[in-house]
Amino acid sequence: MLRAMSVASAAVALSACEQNTFVPPPPPKVEVAPPLQKNITRYIDATGNTAAVKSVDLVARVQGFLQSINYKDGSFVKEGTTLFTIEPETYKLKLEQAQAAEAGAQASVKQAEADYKRQVDLVQKQAVSQATLDTSTATRDNAQANLQQAQANTKIAQVNYGYTNVTAPFDGVVSAHQVSVGELVGVSSPTQLAVIVALDPIYVNFNVNEQDVLKVREEARRRGMTVEDLRQLPVEVALQTDTGYPHKGTLDYVSPTLNQSTGTIAVRGILKNADRVLLPGYFVRVRVPFEQQQSALLVPDAALGADQAGRYVLVVNGESVVEQRKVTTGPLDGGLRVIETGLKPDDRVVVGGLLRAIPGQKVDPQAKKIESGAAAK
């Protein structure tokens, strides 16, 4: 009897052990949040290069020895500032010579005009022949022609004398001089002396692809914008080291034709550059705002995954089961990505514990709220 009871007790104990061998773990905790709804500005993003609005080669237009250099290399100069002086004495003497010749021609005209008037009176009195008057008329006309020639020579001499002073054609920065004092310049052709570049304002050149052009044109038609209105669109520019887009300007030019080889249109903006932070030739980031969107849906960019079918997010349904949702994405806004299609405002998107969220499995969702600039964990 005792043995039977022992066997029965052992069987009960064994049965109890078998029932407690496995306890399923609780569903993993993940953080979920509905997409952030926010008004956003849509931009056309591009890369481009800055370019000078004006850049001119300063050249010697007359022959002579360079007498002086009147600026410091790389300095900013105002319009009209004398930068180089080229042996002016010779050209000053030529101007004085031309002025003297002009004065002589004026005297000849006065004498010829007086003689002509006398001959006219004498012909009327029949004191001289018509041939004498004709000769006087020709002399007067020849004297007037000589005066015109002398006046033209004086103007040419004045221009050449003016060329001995090479001045700044506009406000700008002048490059290092390319010739030295005492060097003979302008011998057979204009000699380049330096380059002057205007830095304020400054251009930024970039290209816009055909798809973006169509978007902008459609938005312009919807808003009833004219070509002049498009020229007032803001342009925002950033250097490679800038955070954000601190340099502001406006659209200045849009090419009337599409480049068929690249599928893009050349566009140009113009920006104020009073502090001369931007220099011609810089590689810059450019964006042009063209549309305001109300209540766009945004999720942390790190909450998105990608596979061969494209981008997706993980959402938790009403049964707390993880689903993979295919989405189409838009631009970044801070640390958040705009979701164009695939999400609804009340969807619960997995934004934390992504590695624990496996499609088809249950999870323990913990409600969170997406803040602007948030990132998934």
Determine the longest span between alpha carbons in the chain, in angstroms.
184
Query: Measured between alpha carbons, how far is 279 from 145 in angstroms, rounded to an integer?
Result: 54
Give the model's pLDDT for residue 2: 44
User: Residue for token digits 């000699």?
Assistant: 191
Within 10 A of 245 (CB to CB), how many other CB atoms are there? 17
Q: What is the DSSP letter of 362?
A: B
Question: Rounded to whole angstroms, how far apart are CA atoms 250 and 237?
Answer: 10
Q: CA 219, 240, 212: angle at the middle one, nearest 5? A: 20
Distance in angstroms (rounded) separating the CA atoms of residues 67 and 209? 53
Q: Could you report how far apart the first and last alpha carbons of the chain are, in Å? A: 65
Sequential pLDDT tens for the chain (377 residues): 445 455 555 555 555 555 556 677 888 999 999 999 988 888 888 999 999 999 999 999 999 999 999 999 999 999 999 999 999 999 999 999 999 999 998 998 888 888 877 777 777 777 767 777 778 788 888 889 988 999 999 999 999 999 999 999 999 999 999 999 999 998 888 899 999 999 999 999 999 988 888 888 777 787 777 777 777 788 999 998 988 899 999 988 888 888 888 888 899 999 999 989 999 999 999 998 877 788 889 999 889 999 988 999 999 998 999 999 999 998 888 778 999 899 999 999 999 988 999 999 999 999 998 887 555 55
Question: For residue 207, with 0-12 CB atoms within 10 Å meaning exposed, 13-18 middle and 19 or more buried, which class applies?
Answer: middle
Q: Which residues contact 99 (CB under 8 A, 6 or more apart)?
A: 154, 157
Assessment of whether the complete model's pTM goes beyond 0.75: no
Q: What is the pLDDT of residue 5?
A: 52
